[in-house]
Structure 1
């Protein structure tokens, strides 16, 4: 079962805004989705999700970190929008030395202290938030990469981004310690961060994103790799003639593994393409689906189809996606526009859920658990060899490793070398009954399953407009794809008003987190 915490609704009028303004606002509920049962993504969420209220003691934040515990999940850091306290009551701001915990069995929220290391100004008005987070089960550590510093002003309905954060923050669950370390790349925001288990290491892979306050976009020919064993960053540079996606940011990622562990595939969907390297926000929203195969570091564009027009999510900024079942990717929310400054189309009554069948390369509607096995797309096997089940002979990039150490760091644990009969990779968590899925009109979170829990991925919806607003002023949030009643007023995500329902007995739960509006 997946717990989905939805955070945003689509509305057209707030008490503190002008009558012609529109804003995205938090939807303070937690929703759950059972991924051990079939569901139809096109139906209203009330048909396959459970809803429960989030108490006022839990801050309304976006781009926060959700990491699993033995019985629930932790919520840490994030960007706080003060105006949501005006709407939903006394929701305080997050503090850097505190985390909020949710217990699945009791459905209770509690808070407890955490320690900070290498923090220059603990609990200053500057908070770190990022959509790039990853959880490594074997280490019981969470990671938050890059992102931004955001200010908190309790007397103002606005939140301001003060600058980019150039760091990797490590959360050690055993010691309740946050440690911030500077990275060699400069500040990167709105890219992808995934975890891969290799034969000798637990590795983070960072790709894409923007930098310099979202004015420039990073190329997909440079892939950053972090060895947790060595606490060291590397960059793998692809050859000059390599086929790569057009630079994009605010996309989502999902990871699947060959059944024999001989390769991993990182799928990227959605996001915004930069029109030029110096104009990150000038391009269109991305509708293409690409996949990066590891360890050969080769990109392939997939030729996808849609079962119906309604099943196609089209271009979206800041969606979230999560591998579920044997061969599906659940794709949720995002800002549905043709470009950054385009007119937004709201996903009324929560119609923001989509399903991608990897085996057929089709946007589909029906999810069936424990059906078949994951098959590597033919566009990928033509590059890496082997077949749909694995067997790739490629152990590294064709043009060689950019750093000799990477050959050891990125050596995979294949079925032939896996003598302990463990899964070839811990990243293919979709084969368990637990996982997290993003919730929220256009914001929410998805998580990767661990034991009985799931680590959450953040899903964001943020409409910014520069026109008619002087430099330095907070950009207004635009109406986003979330719940909206027929009369235009805010409702529950599904727009039905259906009260929370109990989960069927014997089902597991997954968590979800807030996103930004």
Structure 2
């Protein structure tokens, strides 16, 4: 059955929804398939009548008792617990766990359950007692990799979003053959009832199908009851619509355009696809974080990968996994939630900037007085051809946008997730690599969670439950850059250069934001925004109705004529522009005249908005392994083998070059809705300073020239502080 979000297929309620009660077990108690299971380290779970889904409790697949490795999973922190969903695993062959499983005495596996880590008590990375598992019903997607988990305190639900179905083991009880893959959907887990059901939302700009984005950066904005997921792609294991796509060295990808926002303040919650600037292009394997600056905060995009060559969104491209490049850390992309504007801000190294990397995880440590916001970037992959991983830990401190390395140790991991829990940094899972670049051929040295102390700035392996309620300090290496103390009081509160002067108003809410006109083009310009209506008053008016109606009709006619003329001339201008570009470079790929890519298969120039519940779909039952289904085992379970074989770490091209190619691949018209044009990145200013781009904000609002920057570093010849800004 195909997931269609068209108005005709929406229902008005959740009648007929498939609801599944989870079965729970604890590693520290006897396990039963029926009844109530409890322990001293986990909540009491009410167990439903057993269903036909594969039960892994007490089997070798029970990660709480028989753990070896997990990676490419998704996890989320919820009120003193970390929920871990999906991922690839190593499964011990015997009744063993990570500490007593001999090298090679394990099998490839997949995580078919919801693994729960209880953080209410002290524990070490060797302890199994904090872990428990919640089984899933037969229709709840399991063994998802490269997906996301969102959490909303408003609905008290965890949302399972994106990713694709693992095929790391054809013998795993949760394996689904290609031809039996379910349709794309979002599922939600009620943390109080311990039940799963398929989600239903209001949909805005999502089109006729909501794809399942894989390898997409994602984050929650807890203070807003919102969550986000950015771009990514679909492939042959995403859902049933794509199962016959090519795989292997020339895997077919379809890159997804847009940032999907979940707003749970509405009832039902609303999913909105927010278009991105054309200079951004397809992205994957990066990370993003919500920084609560101002009233609503910003979304900061860090690292990841992108295609080297101009590549369209929304189009199946065989071999699209060839020749991707790691995104430089010399800049970050920013989305301002309040205004809806996009910005690209240059970053600075004192003295270094981390090399490009992907498959990272990030957390945020905010100073108590909010004078600095410190984004930790942990580990990741430097190249995928011969995988080179890192264990480095860097901090990008805002609003100075300076990088500083705060920790390193030998080795490296990828496919991990991480969470800041007070003074504890919890790193969940991840795969290590050997000297030849392959996956480690042994179990982890600890249970899924490794613990890093944000006070000692070292991996201690011990979770401090009391420290979970304390705010983490600003790292000493950051304080040495921005001044102040471990609790705040930063002296330096602006970067050497604002890439866009308007950003100073975003980071300083006490300033009144001036009028601002973004100058770039959005990939999709949703001209028909969400409809709003004025409230209807109940009292009668004594004002004559006739003149008002007549004037209103006349005004509407004038407005309609003006809109028609604007659209007419805009289309003529677009046609001329496309023709000019095509004539200048006949080999340059141009978007189809009737299609703009977004988070959908069916796309158009007008928004597709639906404000009703979708009737939840019933998925087919999980099917047992079919011996005839003999596609290859998933090697390294993702992009690191065969998917991105030729990642090139070339010197970063100038943003002028990059933007030119990005503008050529998509729409050539639009109202913007984002940052000013990024060309050029660093024009010289009087006095030797550099301003990274022109802005509609008056330069009179900023005092004096900035010091000279060379490749993101402050020149020793001009180490002066720039004058204060308003």
In 2, Cα distance between equivalents of 1:6 and 1:239: 36
Shift, 1:220, TM fit: 0.8
Q: Greater share of strand residues, 1 or 2?
A: 1
* Aligned with 1:180 (options 273, 296, 308): 273
Is the contact between residue 127 and residue 149 of structure 1 (CA under 8 Å) also seen in structure 2? yes
CA distance in structure 1 between the aligned counterparts of 2:481 and 2:245, rounded to whole angstroms? 52
Match of 1:316 among 413, 422, 431: 413
C-alpha distance in structure 1 between counterparts of 2:368 and 2:302, whole Å: 24
Task: Please report the RMSD computed on the Cα atoms of aligned residues, expressed in angstroms.
Answer: 3.3
Match of 2:195 in 1: 108
Counterpart-to-counterpart distance in 2, 1:158 and 1:55: 30
The CA distance in 2 between the partners of 1:338 and 1:387, in whole Å, is: 40
Give 1:356's match in structure 2, choosing from 433, 442, 452: 452
Alpha-carbon distance change, 90 to 339 in structure 1, aligned in 2, over 3 angstroms: closer
Q: CA deviation at 1:178?
A: 2.7
TM-score when normalising by structure 2: 0.50
TM-aligned CA deviation for residue 64 of structure 1: 2.7
Per the TM alignment, residue 251 of structure 1 is displaced from its structure 2 partner at its CA by: 0.9
Structure showing greater Rg: 2
The structure whose RCO (Cα within 8 Å, separation 6+) is larger is 1
Q: 2:116 & 2:92 partners in 1: Cα distance?
A: 27
Structure with more helix by fraction = 2
Q: Alignment partner of 2:199: what SS?
A: strand
Aligned to 2:430: 334
In the alignment, which residue of structure 1 is the partner of 2:573?
none
Residue 223 of structure 2 is aligned to residue 138 of structure 1: yes
Q: Is the 8 A contact 2:451 2:461 kept in 1?
A: yes
Once the two structures are superposed, residues 356-391 of structure 1 have per-residue CA deviations (whole angstroms, 9 ceiling, x without a partner) of: 112111111211123365222221111111111110
Q: Which residue of 2 aligns with 1:9?
A: 89
Contact (CA 8 Å) 2:166, 2:637: kept in 1 or not?
Answer: no
Match of 1:127 in 2: 212
How far has the Cα of 1:203 moved from its partner? 0.6
Hey, what does 2:634 align to over in structure 1?
476
Once the two structures are superposed, what CA deviation does each residue of 1:284-339 show, in whole Å capped at 9, x if it has no partner? 2112111111111011111457xxxxxx8x41112111111x31110121121047
Query: Pairwise mapping of residues 190-209 of structure 1 onto structure 2 (< 5 A)?
Result: 190-209=285-304
Q: Runs of 5+ in structure 2 lacking a partner?
A: 1-79, 94-103, 308-320, 511-630, 639-726
Given that 1:243 and 1:299 are in contact with CA atoms closer than 8 Å, whether structure 2 keeps it comes out as: yes
Q: Name 2:476's counterpart in structure 1.
A: 378
What is the TM-score normalised by the length of structure 1?
0.68
Q: Comparing 87-96 with 196-205, which one deviates more in the overlay?
A: 87-96
Q: 1:56 to 1:291 in 2, by over 3 A?
A: same
1:233 maps to 342
> What do the CA deviations read for 1:98-120 (whole angstroms, capped 9, x no partner)?
43221222211122333544345
Partner of 1:393: 491
Matched, 1:63 2:146: yes
Q: Structure 1: 5+ residue runs without aligned partners?
A: 14-19, 275-279, 306-311, 414-472, 481-517
Describe the superposition over 1:187-220 as per-residue Cα deviations: whole angstroms up to 9, x where unpaired: 1111110001112432100011111146201111
Find the aligned partners of 1:476 and 1:147 in 2 and give their Cα distance. 19
Q: For residues 44-89 of structure 1, what are the alpha-carbon distances to aligned partners after superposition, in whole Å with 9 as ceiling and x for unaligned?
A: x3x2212221222111222333222433312233312468797436
Asked whether the 8 Å contact 1:227–1:233 carries over to 2, the reply is yes
SS in 1 for 2:141: coil
Distance 2:288 2:491 in 1: 26
CA distance in structure 2 between the partners assigned to 1:77 and 1:239 by the alignment: 33
Q: Secondary structure at the match of 2:299?
A: strand
* Deviation of the 1:127 alpha carbon: 3.4
Matching residue within 161, 165, 174 for 1:80: 165
Q: Is 1:292–1:300's contact at 8 Å kept on the other side of the alignment?
A: yes
Distance in 2 between residues matched to 1:84 and 1:120, nearest whole Å: 34
Give the stretch that moved more between structures: 223-232 or 367-376.
367-376
Alignment-derived partner of residue 165 in structure 1? 256
Q: For residue 383 of structure 1, give the secondary structure of its aligned residue in structure 2.
A: helix
Matches within 5 A, 1:144-293: 144-151=229-236, 152-153=239-240, 162-173=253-264, 174=266, 175-184=268-277, 185-212=280-307, 213=321, 215-238=324-347, 243-274=352-383, 281-282=385-386, 284-293=388-397
- Cα deviation for residue 223 of structure 1 reads 1.0
Aligned with residue 27 of structure 1, among 83, 93, 111:
111
1:240 positional shift: 8.3
